[in-house]
Each structure stands twice: as C-alpha cells, then as structure tokens.
Amino acid sequence: MKNLTNSLTFIFVLIGLNSCFAQDINPKFTQAIKNGLDQVATAKNAEDYIKAENYFERIASVETKEWTPSYYAAYCNLYAGFNTADKDLKDQYWDKALQEIDKADALKANNSEIYALKGALQFMKMTIDPRSRMYFINDSAESLEKAKALNPENPRIYLIQGQDTFYTPEAFGGGKGKAKPILESAVAKFAIFKPANTIEPNWGAESAKALLTQCK
C-alpha cells in the first residue's frame, strides 16, 4: 500500500509539473516569432531584412525575458549586411547585430546558437577591412569554439566555419579543399538536427548543401 501511495504521489507531481510547463508556454509569443520568421523567409533585399529586424526588435521590447527576438534581430542585420554593397552600411548593420546578440546572451547564457551567430558576425566584421581587423579572426574562432563546447552537434557551427574557410583565400589557409570536410560535417549534422521547439534556430541546411556542391 505504501508503494502504491508513493507511486500515485509521484504521478500526481509529474502531472502538476506538466501543467506548470504548459502554462508557461505563450502561444501569442510563439506565433509572433513565427510571423517574423515568415518575413525572413520571403526577404529579398536589405530593406526586407531590416523590416524583419525592426519587427523582432519590437517583440524584444515587450518580451524582455525572451532571447530569441534579439537573436533573430541580429540574424536579420547579418543578412542585411550580406545584401548591401556599401561597406559603411555593412559595418552599421553588423555593429548593431553584435549589440543584439549580446542582449540575447545576457538573457540566455551559455547558448550554443548565440555563440555560433556571434562568431559569424565577428568574422564578417573582419571582412570590412582585413588589414586593420585581423583580431576579429581570433574573436570569431573563440566564439565558435565556445559554441562547439556547449553543443558539438549544432550544425550551424560547421556551416559558419565552412563558409569562412570557403571564402578565405588558399594563401591564408582557406579554399574549397579545406572547406569541404567541414561542410560535409555540417550537412551530416543538419540531417539529424532537431530544434528544441518550433521557434528556436533551424536555419542553414540548404546553404550548407549549396556550398558543399561548389566544393566538388
């Protein structure tokens, strides 16, 4: 009888915990993030990415305990820079993105996704003026290594490392040959990766495949 009582008590505790977790889920917040991700998916130029970035910033200003809005705002600024020819604008977008990723980090410490994106941004900051910004290479490498230590199965780490290597001249240790095995790891890890929920980062699989194709 005592064992039965203990078992029933354990079951009721689990039910209670599940109820608490269910109550913690904010469907409006989840939908708002999904709406923003829809904007990102259809973005075609820097202006589109900045509109999406502004949208995520508005969410961040309301949902002050959530890290994903600032993360996605930084992601949008990263891609706004990719879609901009003006170096000064690139610099502005990526500076703001680094500020946003630091906000995400303050809300969710020791998160592999945050450090992976930070590593990507630091590398891109270097590309604005490689001669005077080589220190960003070490910063980027440190961020990516921390991301890997936190979650070695995060495929975005290998995508970012592969991209960086792919676009680095062979004379400086890069090139397609060096990038190929890294991108192969990225593709393999993307094939089995599952995000923790529907709004956490799940981007990059197609980019990894496309870049790997160029290595063959």
Mean pLDDT by 10 residues, the chain (216 residues): 40 35 69 98 98 98 98 98 97 98 98 98 96 94 98 98 94 94 98 96 97 92
Q: How far apart are CA 158 and CA 209, in angstroms?
A: 12
Domain shared by 154 and 194, yes or no: yes
Q: What is the pLDDT of residue 216?
A: 75
Domain shared by 85 and 158, yes or no: no
Domain shared by 201 and 161, yes or no: yes
Own/partner long-range contacts of 198-207 (Cβ < 8 Å, ≥24 apart): 198/30, 198/34, 199/30, 199/33, 199/34, 199/37, 199/68, 200/68, 200/113, 201/71, 201/113, 201/117, 201/156, 203/75, 203/156, 204/155, 204/156, 204/159, 205/155, 207/159, 207/163
Q: What is the pLDDT of residue 19?
A: 35
Own/partner long-range contacts of 90-94 (Cβ < 8 Å, ≥24 apart): 90/124, 90/128, 91/125, 91/128, 93/46, 93/50, 94/121, 94/124, 94/125, 94/128
Q: What is the pLDDT of residue 23?
A: 38
Tell me how many domains the chain contains: 2
Let me know if residue 128 belongs to a domain.
yes
Let me know if residue 83 belongs to a domain.
yes
Domain shared by 41 and 75, yes or no: yes
Domain shared by 167 and 193, yes or no: yes
Let me know if residue 14 belongs to a domain.
no
CB 128 within 8 A of CB 90: yes
Let me know if residue 139 belongs to a domain.
yes
Domain shared by 145 and 94, yes or no: no
Q: How far is CA 188 from CA 54, 69, 84, 114, in A?
A: 34, 28, 31, 21
Q: What is the pLDDT of residue 25?
A: 56
Q: What is the pLDDT of residue 58?
A: 98
Domain shared by 121 and 59, yes or no: no
pTM: predicted TM-score of the whole model, two decimal places: 0.88
Domain shared by 102 and 159, yes or no: no
Q: How far apart are CA 105 and CA 115, in angstroms?
A: 8
Q: How far is CA 171 from CA 165, 167, 212, in A?
A: 11, 11, 20
Domain ranges, residue 170: 110-216
- Token reading at 120: 């990507």
